[in-house]
Amino acid sequence: MTDITASELETFLAKYPTKTYKKGEIIIFQGEAPRSAFTVKTGIVKAYNLSINGDEKPVSFYSANATFPGSWVFGKVPSAIYYYEAFTSEVSVYAVNREEYVKFVQSSLSTLFAEFERYLSDQLGTSMRLNALQHSRASDKLIYTLHYLALSHGKRVGPQIIEITLDLTHQDFANLTGLTRETAATELNKLKHAGIISYSKNAPYRLDLGKLMSILNDQYIADVQIRL
């Protein structure tokens, strides 16, 4: 999003009230018809589904300026199809009138294009996660998920070092990959010993992107320069 587009959005959002949520608080329940759309001001929001056994299945993460639930906002469904929960220690969101938000997007070409880019990134990220989940080996599921996270929620802190900006636990990795927590922890530890990833209790996950790319089994995906 350009500075001009961000400024337009900030001006539009300034008239709406904000709500604050602590980590783990649900902002929208699955099946709920929201009273308003929500645009992230600060923090990160997690969208997820629950399996029949109650296992959490993360769908997406929303950061600053992202509006959700998109399918409801644009009139494709009558209610939210996922849960939306505060993922960081504190999340602040604007409670935005849905009709006014849609009119605002339609009235601003730059905002419309920014919205298009956001949904394109979401679609690309979803396809990358689907590709990761379709692998049969636990190690491949994790490797491809890390690749997705590096591109979608990573920041470069060195020539080949990417820091994942999400505060993930072993259970989060298990939920993202469909593995058990124990298997996810074992596979992460293998990658740590191989020098592909580094992490500790109070430090974020850091990936050596060059080493990660070298073990991806799909050379085309490894070579493509994507930025979500």
27 lies in a domain? Answer: yes
For residue 143, CA distances in Å to 79, 126, 140, 185, 195 come to 34, 16, 5, 13, 13
Specify if 38 maps to a domain.
Answer: yes
In terms of residue numbers, what domain contains 188? 135-223
**Residue 38, phi then psi, degrees to nearest 5:** -130, 135
Do 17 and 95 belong together in one domain?
yes
pLDDT value for 4:
55
pLDDT value of position 160: 87
Question: Nearest-5° angle of CA 209, CA 214, CA 178?
Answer: 75
- Identify whether residues 18 and 99 lie together within a single domain: yes
Which pLDDT value is given to residue 122? 86
Is residue 77 included in any domain, yes or no?
yes
Q: Which two tokens stand for residue 73?
A: 């906002």
pTM of the full structure: 0.87
- CA dist., res. 167 & res. 203, Å (int): 9
What are 80-117's pLDDT values in tens digits?
Answer: 999 999 999 999 999 999 999 999 999 988 889 988 98
Number of domains in the chain: 2
In this structure, are 104 and 139 located in the same domain?
Answer: no
The vertex-83 CA angle with 107 and 40, nearest 5°, equals 40
Low-confidence ranges of the chain (pLDDT < 70): 1-5, 217-228
- For residue 17, the model assigns a pLDDT of 97
